[in-house]
Amino acid sequence: MLIHATKPLFAWDCLEDSPSLKSIRELLAVVPDGRLLDSLHIARGKGRDDYPVSVLWGTHLLKILLRHPNTEACLAELRRNEGLRRILGIESEEGVPKGWNMSRFEETLGEEPHRTLLKQIFDQMTQRLGEVVPDLGKDLAGDATALSARRQTADAAKKEEEAGLPQPSGGRKEYTDDDGKVTKVVEWFGYKLHLLVDVKHEVTVAYEITDTKTGDGETLPIVLKQARANLPDNRIRTLTYDKAADSNDVHELLSGQGIRAVIQNRALWKEEPERLLPGHDGNSNIVYDEAGTVYCYDRVSSPMVRHPMAYIGYEPARETIKYRCPAMHEGWTCPMSEICNAGKSYGKTVRVPRETDLRRFPAIPRATKQFERLYNGRTSVERVNARLKLFWGVDDGNLRGARRFIANVGAVLVVQAAFATLLAMSPRREGTLGKLKLGHIARALRERTGLATPEPATT
């Protein structure tokens, strides 16, 4: 891959449509699959070894990274491409596995302990990136996306349920406008894939697969635990999510772990647009709305005028959010100033304890530019979802059974993490005919993966 020095560390737009043999070789080399292969060897026992598990595993990854529409297309390319066969350790055309061999392997890959070891590969690769990239995981965004799948026969599905695997089911998601009117309905049959993604780098740091009935707020604690385990201590600073995760439990969880929630709130107040701020009586002119925005009323003017109070900042030591008189803070005249600000050089000050309502009063108030900027970062997880579906074909819709489906999604995310590693460790081109330069992050990754460091060369 040829990446210019001005490109971001994870330059996803530089991925090759047709990866070279060198890129394929390096990608397979950075996948820490030793424990998985040992487990597959043990499971095979003393049976026939016409097609080694390393060949089957490599072929499975190859189908994903070469973006073949099905297994047969990948096997056909292996039969006609000697260089590709040699990378996987296949000596002749006769050594290419058959379609039914791959089908059985994919079923086996979804069984325990292989299924857990597959996810551990993803975790290990993410941990490696987190150790080297200092800002990976500081700002995260989460979302769930629909994935289509097919159901097993009744007997096979029952066995999968007994093994604790989620079963595909019908899902439905409604999109509404600001007035609550349904504008779009999406229906599918399959699963939900829950992701936590780094906002800046668009790298997945945790994932979970559930049935379509499991809510995003229910799964968030699970993926958050994975993300914290995959990242250095106290790395996560903010977590952005849509209103599907807007619940008291989620806000309490994030607040307890020192993570600032950037979550859009659900509209539940049907009749009252605002309430008096707790601790204030009817003589006060301070109110707040459902989103937690604090306002003051100019009761001298007729009719009365409501102004949003000036947000000053979050006080971690007090666990309070500080507001001041907007007129004094912004330098304009308010008829209520003599009443509110009498004897106060900075004007009227209001401190809102977050414990009053963690859901209404997050550390970063919703009516601020900071919240808006961070919330816009949620589009990163949507781009990752699109990349998984359109680029790597995770939403194939033809896989039958939970074992094969979960194993396939896990392998796709392993390939994505491997490509992220390759992008971060690739030499950067300086100028049209300049030398290739290897940064300190790329060098550190090459040391951890055992890949040789290329000598700088003029191209």
378's tokens: 């949620």
SS3 at position 112: coil
Q: Model-level pTM? A: 0.91
CA atoms within 13 A on the CB side of 207: 30
Contacts 24+ apart (CB under 8 A), 250-257: 250/217, 250/220, 250/221, 251/358, 251/359, 251/362, 252/358, 253/220, 253/221, 253/224, 254/224, 255/354, 255/358, 255/363, 257/224, 257/228
Please list the pLDDT of the chain residue by residue as tens digits (459 residues).
Answer: 778 888 999 999 988 888 899 999 999 999 999 999 999 999 988 777 789 999 999 999 999 999 998 999 999 999 999 999 999 999 999 999 999 999 999 999 999 999 999 999 999 999 999 999 999 999 999 999 999 999 888 898 899 999 889 999 999 888 777 667 888 888 999 999 999 999 999 999 999 999 999 999 999 999 999 999 999 999 999 999 999 999 999 999 999 999 999 999 988 887 888 989 888 877 788 999 999 999 999 999 999 999 999 999 999 999 999 999 999 999 999 998 888 888 788 889 999 999 989 999 999 999 899 999 999 999 999 999 999 999 988 998 888 889 999 999 999 999 999 999 999 998 888 766 557 788 889 989 988 888 877 655 444
Q: How far apart are CA 421 and CA 193, in angstroms?
A: 22
- Please check whether residue 350 is in contact with residue 309, taking contact to mean a CB–CB distance below 8 angstroms: yes
Of 367, 401, 314, nearest to 115 by C-alpha is 401
Helix (H) or strand (E) holding 301: none
Please state whether the peptide bond connecting residue 303 to the residue before it is cis, i.e. omega within 30 degrees of 0.
yes
Cβ within 8 Å of residue 304, ≥6 positions away: 297, 298
Fold of 134-267+375-382: Nucleotidyltransferase; domain 5 (3.30.420)
**Orientation of helix 53-65 relative to helix 71-80, angle to 10°:** 110
Tell which residue, 416, 445, 27, 449, has the closest CA to residue 207.
416
- Looking up tokens 């939900």 gives 192
pLDDT digits (tens, 9 = 90+) for 421-442: 999 998 888 766 557 788 889 9
Domain boundaries, the chain: 3-119+400-449, 134-267+375-382, 274-357
Please state, in angstroms and rounded to a whole number, the distance separating the CA atoms of residues 31 and 24. 11
Task: Considering only the C-alpha atoms of the chain, give the largest distance between any 2 of them, rounded to a whole number of Å.
Answer: 91
Separation of first and last alpha carbons in the chain: 13
Cα–Cα dist 237/265, whole Å: 20
Residue with tokens 């005919």: 433
Angle at which helices 114-132 and 216-230 cross, to 10°: 60
Contact 425, 218 (CB under 8 A): no
Lookup result for tokens 């379509």: 212
Give the dihedral sign, CA 177/179/181/182.
positive
| pLDDT digit string, tens, across residues 141-197 | 999 999 999 988 889 889 999 988 999 999 988 877 766 788 888 899 999 999 999
Reference 252, options 379, 362, 334, 350; nearest CA is 362
- List Cα–Cα distances, 299 to 36, 275, 283, 335, in angstroms: 70, 16, 11, 8
Residue 225: what are its φ and ψ, rounded to 5°? -60, -40
Q: Per the structure block, which two tokens stand in for 423?
A: 């992008």
